[in-house]
A = this chain, B = another copy of it.
Amino acid sequence: MSKAQAVAYKQGDYKSKVKPIWCPGCGDYHVLISITRALAEIGVAPEDVAVISGIGCSSRIPAYTNCYGFHGVHGRSLALAAGLKVARPDLTVLITSGDGDGFSIGGNHFLHACRRNVDMTYIVMDNRVYGMTKGQPSPTTEPDWDSALSPGGTGLRPFHPLVIALASGANFVARTFSGDPNGTARVLVEAIRHPGFSFVEILSPCVTFRPDEKEWKNMVHTAPVEPTDDAARAARRIMTDDGFNLGVLYRGHRAPYQPEIGTASVDVADLEEAFLL
């Protein structure tokens, strides 16, 4: 990161020229601002950052940044990112996902990413709906939310991403609101700097399919308590909160998973010896 120290990067340096296709009013615009702001704050060179995603409105972010990006397939961003980070520990790796991409089809990789604790930052824009496919319920959708696919609601208990993250071993857990780009950026800076797997859930309204979420700005509030490093306590706290508690909720101390790479102890030819009789 010597490059980064030499140059002072501005927020604009992390934005690409590609114009978002998001609906005007979408919370994801704010998230884009928060991410670029956080990167500028940290000062890592744009080319040393990789932003990885799956499929969804939220997953469109990589191309809107001026970093290296990968817009992969639906639900697999965490695995792709883990491969990248393990192979290239020098990079700063962010993963940008949605509640469908991350918690429905991508749920298993979420569990295992938390457990594996590779040093990267997972940002999920939770709008409690599948925006990209025109408004179906996601795992975080309220049980009574009416839609064409689930008339009258799914009747299912919403998925609790923060608790799952804690239960499966994430090393940093936070919730923010897209409508507070400064607050979100601050948390992202901390998340990126925190070693190991950091998970930040950003409540990010979908104005098109969930216009009711415009109300979120009146519902969010800062977590009334200090972050803890006791996962069990943090989990219990979140399991009983109202879902609109913002802030850093957990900071863990587990060492990140990072096998040594790039340092050969033997020549390729030496490996052959085992076969020779």
A169 to B155, CA, bound (A): 13
Residues of A78-113 whose CB lies within 8 A of B? 104-108, 111-112
A191 CB-CB contact with B under 8 Å: no
Interface residues on A, range: 20 to 34
A182 CB-CB contact with B under 8 Å: no
> Which of B108, B236, B257 meets A108, CB within 8 Å?
B108
Stretch at the interface among A38-46, A159-167, A214-222: A159-167
CB distance from A274 to the nearest CB of B (A): 14
Stretch at the interface among A2-10, A58-66, A227-235: A227-235
CB distance from A261 to the nearest CB of B (A): 14
* A159 neighbours in B (Cβ, 8 Å): 111, 115, 168
A210 CB-CB contact with B under 8 Å: no
* Residues B257 and A156 in contact, CB atoms below 8 Å apart: yes
A139 CB-CB contact with B under 8 Å: yes
> Which of B115, B164, B232, B254 meets A111, CB within 8 Å?
B164
- The 9 nearest A-B residue pairs measured at CB: A108-B108, A107-B108, A232-B239, A163-B167, A232-B236, A167-B167, A236-B236, A107-B111, A157-B169
* A160 neighbours in B (Cβ, 8 Å): 167-168
CB distance from A80 to the nearest CB of B (A): 16
* Residues A117 and B157 in contact, CB atoms below 8 Å apart: yes
A71 CB-CB contact with B under 8 Å: no
A263 CB-CB contact with B under 8 Å: no
* A156 neighbours in B (Cβ, 8 Å): 115-117, 257
